[in-house]
Amino acid sequence: MRSGFAPGSNIGKYVGKLVLNIPSCRMINRVTSEAIRNRKNSRDRITALTAYDYPTAKILDESGIDLILVGDSLGMTVLGYPDTTHVTLEDMVYHTRAVARGISTTLLAADLPFQSYGSADQAVASARRLVAAGANAVKLEGGQRCYQQIRAITDDGIPFIGHIGMLPQHVLEEGGYKIKGRTAQEREFLRQEALAVQEGGAFALVLELVESSVAAEITQLVSIPTIGIGSGAHCDGQILVFHDLVGYFPWLKPKHVKPEADVSAAIRDAVRAFIQRVRAG
Ligand code: KIV
């Protein structure tokens, strides 16, 4: 019988008000968007990782991670596309369902993929599909340009995470994954983006590849927690692509990641050992 807390995790400190009553279990406390938002004024940094399947989600949940994101990075990490622009809403729904089945306590967010939020109505319809698949929150890329969509999602009662800085869904227009905020103009743009996301009702804001001093400034500027990826140490939390953290996508090694494991080497070793054992008879 689970109390809702993974062994050794400190997640109990951060649970919000939502308490699920499940017959035959005592109670499982879920991390809520409100609890994540309240971490803005806490010294405990928010920890977040992506997951795209049931076993990974279950392991991350049991490890005590605060937030799991079904990121559209799954386009590269599990579907083999060159970038995220090929990912469909159906892909996101399918993977969100699998991840949701593995989670007991962690907050589950899912990405709205490319071209799934062209208008406010489309954004709400797409967000509802992800929520129906098990997401507790959704994220989309962009600030001022997407203000109507963000507002419509939060007005619909769906917890929302913003994402500004380098926007992978725009990688083709932008010609690569480049640090943002190196010029005065970019810095001012990022500040306006952050304020637009906050004004839209987001409970947290991902800063991707934002120059570290600008990320620190935005973290001071907004009242919602910032969650950085490749944006320096001064955010309220950090998020990574799970495959980068554990060395499960060895063909691309982003500069901002310090891998904590070499899963691809472990898999190669195991497969070679199996081949040898079978061939040896
Ligand atoms: O798709 C993704 O993985 C993301 C990152 C912020 C981790 O959006």
Q: Closest ligand 1 atom, CA of 73?
A: 1
Assign residue 200 the CATH number of its domain: 3.20.20.60
Predicted confidence at residue 174, as pLDDT, reads 87
Answer whether residue 211 shows pLDDT above 90.
Answer: yes
Predicted TM-score (pTM) of the model is 0.91
DSSP 197-220: HHHTT-SEEEEESB-HHHHHHHHH
Rounded CA-CA distance 156/167 in Å is: 25
Q: Report d(CA 33, CA 203) in Å as an integer.
A: 7
At residue 159's C-alpha, the angle toward residues 192 and 88, to 5°, is: 85
Instruction: Name the 3-class secondary structure at 183.
Output: coil
- DSSP letters for 86-141: G--HHHHHHHHHHHHHT-SSSEEEEE--TTS-SSHHHHHHHHHHHHHTT-SEEE-S
Decide if 234 is inside a domain: yes
Mutating to test ligand 1, I would choose from 60, 206, 207 the residue with most ligand atoms within 8 A of its C-beta, which is 206
Mutate to test the pocket of ligand 1, among 53, 69, 166 (most ligand atoms within 8 A of CB): 69
pLDDT (tens digit per residue) in 223-279:
999 999 999 999 999 999 999 999 999 999 999 999 999 999 999 999 999 999 999
pLDDT of 194 reads 98
For ligand 1, atom 4: residue with the closest CA = 71
- Going from the Cα of 11 to the center of ligand 1, the distance in angstroms, rounded, reads 22
Atom 2 (ligand 1) nearest CA = 71
Q: Is residue 11 part of a domain?
A: no
Q: Is the pLDDT of residue 25 over 60?
A: no
Report CA(18)–ligand 1 centroid distance (Å).
Answer: 26
pLDDT digits (tens, 9 = 90+) for 67-80: 999 999 999 999 99
Is residue 243 left, alpha or beta, with left meaning phi > 0 and alpha meaning psi from -120 to 50? Answer: alpha
Q: How many domains does the chain have?
A: 1
Kindly state whether residue 31 falls inside one of the protein's structural domains.
no
User: Is the model's pLDDT at 58 over the cut of 60?
Assistant: yes
**Side-chain-side CA neighbours of residue 235 (13 Å):** 25
Q: From the alpha carbon of 141, which atom of ligand 1 is closest?
A: 8
Q: Where are the alpha helices (DSSP H) in the chain?
A: 33-37, 54-63, 74-77, 89-101, 120-132, 147-155, 171-174, 184-199, 212-221, 242-245, 263-280
Residues within 6 Å of ligand 1 by CB: 50, 69, 71-73, 111, 206, 208, 229, 239, 241
Q: Classify residue 162: in a domain, yes or no.
A: yes
**Residue 7 in domain:** no
- With a CB cutoff of 8 Å and minimum separation 6, the contacts of 262 are 246, 247
Owning domain of residue 74:
36-245
The answer to the question of residue 111 being in a domain is: yes
Q: Is residue 30 part of a domain?
A: no
Instruction: Indicate whether 66 belongs to any domain.
Output: yes
Assess contact for 153 and 128: CB atoms under 8 A.
no
Active site residues: 208
Q: Is 67 within 8 Å of 51 (Cβ atoms)?
A: no
